[in-house]
Structure 1
C-alpha cells in the first residue's frame, strides 16, 4: 500500500508544480502586460542647455541668454519668423524690413539703425561658435510671436500668430488628492516616467497617431506620453495678431485709374510749351535718375521746369530710376547695405528737391545671381519712401526663360513691398529677332498678364499694363536661299506716313488683334504689325476686363494725338 500512496503523492506534487508554473507564468504575463513600471528617468534635451521648441518639435540649435537677454539663432528666425530677414556677411549685419521699418544691426554693436536713425539696443547681435544670435527684445516688438521661457529648465517654446495650441488637463481624483498622472518617455506602461503630473495640471497636446496615448508637453518644455483616459480636453489657444499701424495707401492721381506715360530724357529735358493736349494723362515718369557706378552714386538730370508744368496740369511725377542696364555696376551697387542705402538716400533727396509723388524703378539686364539682392534693395527702399509719402513702382518684363531679361525678377517677393508693378508687355518680337512679328500681339499681352496674376499672385489693384506707342518695320530679303530679317523701330506718325505715301490698306489680323500692312520695296518685303487706335483700344479694354490699376505707355511723344482721348474714354467705359 505504501508505494501506491507515494506514487499518488508524486503525481499530486507534480500537479502542484505545473499549477504553480502556470500561475507564475500567468502572473508574469499579467505583470509584464498590465502592471506599470514606477521607474523614473530624468528627461533631457539631447544635451542642449536652452532648447527651442516649435509645435512640439525641438529645434536643432538652442537659444542663449534669458529674459531680456534672450537670443535666438539667425537661422531659426529666418525659417520660422521672417523668411525675408537678411544677413550680410561682409559687413556682419542683419537687416530686418517690415512694412514701415528698416532695421540694421551689426555684430557686437549696441547702436543699430532704424530707418537710418540710430537707436540703442540693450543687447547686441553676437556670434558664438559660428552661429549668429539675434536679441529678441526688438524682434518681439516687430512680429506677432511669443517666446515662453521656462524659469525651471530654460526651455523656450515659440508660438506664432495664428498657431493653434490644444490644451488638456490631467484628470482629477477627488478621493485621492495626492495621486499623480505618469508622463512616460514612450507610449508604453513599461517605459520610464519622465514626470508625475499633478491633478488638473495643464499640458499642450501635439498630434500623434497612437490610439491609446497622447503626446504632451509641459510648460517647462518636457515632453512625453500620457494615456488618453488620464486626460480631459481643456481649451484651444490661438495667438492673436499683433496690433499694427494702418498700411501705406498710395495717393491716387486725381481720380479713376492710373494713366501714366514714360518720358524718355537723354541729356536735355523736353520743351513742355510744345506739348499737345493729352486728356486723361495723370502720371508722367521721366527717366531722370540712373546708376552712375558700382559705388551707388547716381546721375541726375531732373528738371524743375518739367515738374512745374506737370503741377499746372494736375499730373503726378514719378521719377524713373534705372540701373543704366549695366549688369556689372548693378551687381556692385546691390552687394551691400551701405551702397543700397546710398542709392536710396540720393533718391529721397531728389524726390524732395523736385517735389515728386513717386519713384519708378526700372532695372533691366540684371544678372540672375543678383535676384535676391534686388528684392532686398526694394524691401529696404520702400519703407523709407513711404515715410516721405512717396509711391514706389517697378517695371518688369513678361515671364520667360531668359535670365538677364526676365528670370532675375522675383515678382512674387517684389510685389509684397511695391505699391504698383508695371508689366512692360512689349517686344514679343524684339529688334534682333530672327523672325518678323508683332511688338505686342493681343493674345501674347493677355497671356503675359494673366500668367503673372496666377503664378506670382500679383493683385490686379497693384498691376499696371505697359503698352507700346511704337512698332517695327520688318524687312525680309532672300540671301543665299535663306530669309534674312532686319527691323527698324518707328513711331505711330512714321507708320501712318508710310501708309499714306504708299497708298496701303491695313488688314485686321484677328490672331494678333492688330491691323497689318506689307509692301515690297527694292525687292524686299516690308511688314508692319500696326500700333494704332485699334490695338490701343484692345489693350485698354484688357485693363478694364481684369480691373487693373491702370495703363502705362512707352513713351510720350511716340503717339498720335487722338490716342490720348481714346485711352481716356475707354478707361472710363
Structure 2
C-alpha cells in the first residue's frame, strides 16, 4: 500500500511540475510577445531633466533652463556660447557682456538697459542678470547680432532656438485610418519604446534626424520624439533668414597682389619730396600709432601730408598701431573691455581724421597669459573698423617656442578675424643671436609660411610674406679660446657700398638661397648673407607659388631703387 501511494504522489508531483512549467512558459512567452513583438502602449511624460523651461536647439535638449517669457525670455550664457557664438565674453569685473561678429560689436552691462552697437546707443527692454551664479542674456541683442529666432510654447514651457541661416525640414503626419485616432510619438526609435505624446493627423513637424526607418521630430509644442517614416509626409524646407550685414562702408579693395612697404617713423614722418618713385608699391604702412599707457591711451605721429602724397601716387595707407612692445603696459591695456574700447575709439578717431584706408596691428613682446585678451581685442576692433570701410591686418611672427614673441599669438583665430595677416618671416638669426646666420633664409621663410597655412589653417590668400630689406654684418672674433659673435644691422645700400669698397665677390649660398660674402678685418671674420635682387626675386616667386595675397617689406628706407622693380614683378 505504501508503494502504491508513493507512485500516485510521484505522478501528481510530475504533473504539477509540467503544469507549472507550462504556465511559466506561457507567461514568459506573453511577456516576450508584449515587449518584443507588440508595440508598447505605455505612456510617459517627456523627460525634460527637471528643467522648468527646457531649451531645444536642433532637436537637442540643452543642459540649462531659460527664464522669463515672451519678449522677456532670457537664455543662459553657457547655452548661447555653445550654440550661437563661443566667443561671446562676459567680464565679471566690469559686468560687461561683449558680442562681436564680422561687422558688429555689441556691449552692455548687467542690470543696465542701455548698450552700444558699433558705438551707437542700443536700448534694451530687459536686462541681463545673474541668478544663482548663472548669467542670463536677454534675447534682443542676440536677435540683433545673430538673427536668432526664439519659439516658446506656453503649454509645455519649451523654448526652441533657430539660428540665422539654419535649414529646417518641415513635415506633417499622414492622414489616419478611421480606426486610428492618433500616432504614437515615441521616446526612442522603436515600437517598444514608451509613448511621449499622441500626435493627431496632419500635425506640423520639424525633422531633425533620419534614423533608418524613423525620424527624430519636434512638434510645434516643442516636444521631441520619434515617428516611423511611414507616418510622416515631407513638406518644404525652411531657411531661417540670414541676418543682414551692417551698413559698413565698402573698403577700397586692392586689385591684384599686395605690395606693401612699412615706413618706420621714429620722431616725425619723412619728407615725401625726398622719397622718389616706388613703382609697384600699392600700400604704405607708416608706424604712426602706439600704446601710451595701461589705460589704453594711444599716441599718434600721423601726418596728413604723407597721406595726401600716398593717395596722389595711388597707394593706400594702412597705418600701423603697435603696443610699443611694452609687455606690462600691454597687460594692463588689454585687461578690461573699457581699456580695450579706449584704444579702439582713439584708433577709429585717428583713422577718420587722417582718412586712412586701413589699420595694421603690430603687437609684439607680449606675455602668453595675455593671448586670449589680445585675440579679444582684435575681435572687438575689427567690426568697428570695418564699419568705417577700413581694411584690418595683423602682424605675426613665424611659429616658435618663444613666449614673448610667438606663443601669445592665436594665429588661427586671428586669421578668421582680419582681412590680411603679415607674417614677419625674418630674424631667423636675430641681432643678439649666439650664432651667425641669415636674417631669413629662403627654406626657413617658406617653412614659416607653410606652417601657418597648414597647421593654423589661415587661407594663403590672406597672407603676406614678410620681406627684410636689410641684413646683418656678423662679426666672429676669438676671445679667451671661444668665438664671440656680434652683429649690426645694415640696409641694402650700405651693404652694396661695403661690397664695392672692399671689392668683395659674393657667391650664391645654395642652402639659404642668398648671395654670401665673408672677409677678415681687425682680427675678426665678417660674414654677410646679402639681401639683393637675387633673394628678392626668390621671395616674390615663393609668394606666387604659395598663392599668397602679396608681400610686406621692412622697411622703405633700407631699400635700393632696384628693389622696387623686383618687388613690382
The equivalent residue for 2:57 is 54
More deviation, 23-32/66-75:
23-32
Contact 1:333 1:339 in 2 (8 A): yes
User: 2:262 touches 2:286 (CA, 8 Å); kept in 1?
Assistant: yes
Q: How does 1:72-471 map to 2 (within 5 A)?
A: 72-161=75-164, 163=166, 170=173, 172-178=175-181, 180-185=182-187, 192-204=194-206, 216-224=217-225, 228=228, 231-232=231-232, 234-235=234-235, 237=237, 239-240=239-240, 242-245=242-245, 250-252=251-253, 255-471=255-471
* Distance in 2 of aligned mates of 1:284 and 1:36: 75
Aligned-pair distance for 1:231? Answer: 2.9
Aligned residues: 559
Conserved? CA contact 1:164–1:236, under 8 Å: no
1:293 Cα deviation after fit:
0.4
Offset, 1:408: 1.3
Distance 1:357 1:189, change over 3 A: closer
Contact 1:204 1:216 in 2 (8 A): yes
Match of 2:423, SS? strand
- In the TM superposition, what whole-angstrom CA distance separates every residue of 1:83-137 from its partner, at most 9, and x where no partner exists? 2212111111111112221111110111111111212112111111111111112
Partner SS state of residue 425, structure 1: coil
TM-score where L is the length of structure 1: 0.89
- Identify the range of structure 1 (548-557 vs 135-144) with the bigger mean alpha-carbon deviation: 135-144
Range moving further from structure 2, 74-83 or 155-164? 155-164
Question: What is the SS of the residue equivalent to 2:417?
Answer: coil
Paired residue secondary structure (1:476): strand
Distance 1:511 1:236, change over 3 A: farther
Structure 2 residues without counterparts, runs of 5 or longer: none
Q: How far 1:161 moved relative to its partner?
A: 4.9
CA distance in structure 2 between the aligned counterparts of 1:355 and 1:249, rounded to whole angstroms = 14
- Structure 1 residue 222: deviation in Å? 3.0
Q: CA deviation at 1:532?
A: 0.7
Task: Please give the per-residue CA displacement for 1:160-192, whole angstroms capped at 9, x wherever unaligned.
Answer: 3565656665554423153x3333446676765
**Could you say what secondary structure the match of 1:60 adopts?**
strand
Aligned in 2, Cα 1:166/1:285: closer, same or farther, shift over 3 Å?
A: closer
Corresponding residue for residue 488 of structure 2: 488
User: What is residue 478 of structure 2 aligned with on the other side?
Assistant: 478
The aligned residue for residue 517 of structure 2 is 517
Deviations 1:16-67 (A, max 9, x none): 9967973684266225523556443333422211011223332111111122
Cα distance, 1:207–1:357 mapped onto 2, change above 3 Å: closer
TM-score computed with the length of structure 2 as normaliser:
0.89
Contact 2:170 2:205 in 1 (8 A): yes
Computed over aligned residues only, the root mean square deviation of the Cα atoms, in angstroms, reads 3.1
| Partner SS state of residue 72, structure 1 | strand
Cα distance, 1:204–1:355 mapped onto 2, change above 3 Å: closer
